[in-house]
Amino acid sequence: MTTIHLRLTRCFLDSLMEITGLYHWTKRNQIPPITNPLLLQTATELAEKTRTGQLKCETLVRVFIDRINVVNPLVNAVVANCFNDAIKEAREYDRRIEMALNDPLIEDDVLKLPLLGVPITIKECITVKGMPNTAGLYSRKDFRAPEDAQVVKNVRKAGAIVLGVTNVPEFLLWWDTNNHVYGRARNPYDLSRITGGSSGGEAAIQAAAGTVIGVGSDIGGSLRIPPFFCGTFGHKPSSHMTNTKGNFPSCGHESREKLLVNGPLCRYATDLKPLFKVIISDDEKALAQLDLDRPVDLKKSRFYFLYEDGDPFKTAVSYDVRETLQRARNFLEKDCGFVCIDALIPLMKYNFAIFLTTLGDCDAPLLCEEILERHGKLNAWPELIKGLFGLSKFRKITCMNVILENAFYSPELRQKLWYRKIIDKGKQLREQLDSLLDDGSILIMPCLPEHAPKHSGTFLRVINCGYTAVFNVLEMPVTQISMGIGQRSQMPVGFQIIAKRLNDRYTLAVAELLAKKFGGWQPPCDIRIS
C-alpha cells in the first residue's frame, strides 16, 4: 500500500475507535477536591518531615488512606489494601523516631532511611506478602503472595510503608487496565478514558493524589504510557539493572529478560531518582554502573527532537503533543542555551515490527500455555465466542492475543527472510542510536501520538505502542515526563526522554529540569485547603 493509502486506512480505523468510544460518556471533574496540604508534597519532603519529627508517620499514612478511600471508588486503582498493617508499621516508626531524636546514643539508623514513613503502592503483578498477585487472571483470584518481591523488600528497607496493590490488565497483555478480577481502572481526568497499562492503577491513584510514589514494571511501555495518560512521571531503567524476581508473569525465556524491568512511578520528577536508587539498592553492580549521584552537565549534551516516527499506519501525532515538544525545545534552546537538533531516524518507523519480532524470536512457552500457568493450553476461539456473551473468564483481547500468536509465531516463521530483515533493522537502529546519543546526548520524542483514548477504544490503535516498546528491545533508559494539560484535549500530555544505555542519570536530570520549568503534574480536581 502507498503512504496515502496507509494514512487513509489509519484515519478510518481511528474513526471506528472514536465511534466505539461514544458509548462511554465523558466524565470530567469527578474527583473530590484535595483538602490536606500533605497530599501535595513530594516524597522527599514528606520523609524529611518524619525524619525531623515535624510529622508523625501515622498521621501521614492516615491522610493517604483517607484520600484513597475517597477517590478509589471512582478510579478503581487500588485493588487490595493492607491499611491496618500500614498503620501498625507507622506507629512503630514513630516510636523509633522519637527514641532516636531524644537519645542520640541509641543505635538505630531509622533517621537515615530515605523514604521514612512515606506511603507507597505496588503494581499488583509484583508480589507483596499477604496481598493478591493475580496479574488480572480470574484463575488466581484467591492466590495470596507468600513473600515480598525483592523490590518490595528494598522499598520497605528504605522506610516506605506499603498501603496496597494496584490494578493491571489481564496477564499484563494490554495497554488498557481492565480484567475480570477487579474490573476497569479509570482516568482521574476523565473517567470515560483509560489509564493506560499495564501499570495503569499505579498512575491513576497517583494522579488522583492517593499516593505520591509507587513501583511498576515495563516490558513494552508500562512505566511510560500510564504516566503519559495520567499526567505523572515514570522511568524505564536501562535493561538488566533491576531485580524482577517476584514478578508474575515471568518473561518466559531468558532472551526476553532484557525487555522486562521494574521501575519508579512518581507524581513529582524529583522523587524519581531517590526511589530508583532504592529499587536497585540490593544490587551493588547496578548502583556502580549507573552512578546516579554523579553530576550531569547537560551543556555538553545535544538534544535531538523527533516529532513523529514516520510510520503512516500509526495515528498522526496530535497538536497537543507537538506543541508540548516545541515548548520544551524552545526552553532548552533559548532559555538554557542547549543545542537542539531535528532527528532523522528512518528506521524508527519499524519500531512496532521490531518489538514484535524480537519478542517472538525465541522458543518461549506459548501464550496459550502461560495464561494457564503451563497446566494445559487455552482454547482461545471458544473462549472468544463465550466472551461475546459475557460467559468467559478471559477478556476478549486476551483471546485475540492468543489467536494472533498461534497464527504468526512459529519456528518456521522466524526463519523467513522478511522476519530476519526486521530483526536486522532492530540491530541497525540500536547502532544508530548508540552513535547518535554518545557522550550524554538526549533524544526527545512522543510517548504516544495522542492523549488517552476512551474505554474500548484501544484495539485498532495498538500499533501506536511501537513508540514505547522499541526501547525495551534497545535496552535504553527512558523517562516519561508530564508537561501539564493539553490546550485542545484538556487531558495530560508529555513525552519520552531517551539516552544511551546506562545513562539513566541524564534522562532523570532532564526530567527534573523540565518539571521545574513547566510544573509537571496538574491536579484533576480542585484544591481546597483552609
Half-sphere exposure of 50 (CA within 13 A, CB side): 34
Q: What grid cell was written down for 283?
A: 544490587
198 as an active site residue: the answer is yes
Q: Residue 217 annotated as binding?
A: no
CA distances from 282 to 254, 277, 278 (A): 21, 9, 8
Half-sphere exposure of 101 (CA within 13 A, CB side): 15
Contacts of 119 (CB under 8 A, 6+ apart): 60, 61, 64, 65, 86, 160, 161, 162, 163, 211, 212
Cβ atoms of residues 523 and 310 within 8 Å: no
Contacts of 435 (CB under 8 A, 6+ apart): none
Q: What are the beta bridge partners of residue 235?
A: 479
315's torsion region: left (phi>0), alpha (psi -120 to 50) or beta? beta
**Omega prior to 482 cis, within 30 of 0:** no
Alpha-carbon Rg of the chain, whole angstroms? 22
- Spot the catalytic one: 192, 198, 199, 217: 198
Q: Residue 65 annotated as binding?
A: no
* Torsion over CA: 186, 188, 192, 198 (sign): negative
Contacts of 278 (CB under 8 A, 6+ apart): 114, 115, 154, 155, 158, 160
> Counting Cβ atoms within 10 Å, is residue 168 exposed (0-12), middle (13-18) or buried (19+)?
buried
Q: Residue 198 annotated as binding?
A: yes
Q: Residue 106 annotated as binding?
A: no
Give the C-alpha separation, 130 to 135, whole Å: 15
482 as an active site residue: the answer is no
199 as an active site residue: the answer is no
Q: Residue 497 annotated as binding?
A: no
Q: What grid cell was written down for 250?
A: 515471568
Q: What are the beta bridge partners of residue 89?
A: none
> Counting Cβ atoms within 10 Å, is residue 135 exposed (0-12), middle (13-18) or buried (19+)?
buried
- Spot the catalytic one: 217, 222, 281, 441: 222
Q: What grid cell was written down for 224?
A: 511510560
Q: Residue 172 annotated as binding?
A: yes
Cβ atoms of residues 128 and 145 within 8 Å: yes
DSSP 132: B
CA dihedral 10, 187, 237, 344 (to 10 degrees): 30
Give the C-alpha separation, 307 to 286, whole Å: 32
- Spot the catalytic one: 49, 123, 273, 500: 123
Long-range Cβ pairs for the range 414-417 (8 Å, 24+)? 414/360, 414/361
Residue list, annotated binding site:
172, 198, 219-222
- Residues with catalytic function: 123, 198, 222
Residue list, annotated binding site for substrate:
172, 198, 219-222
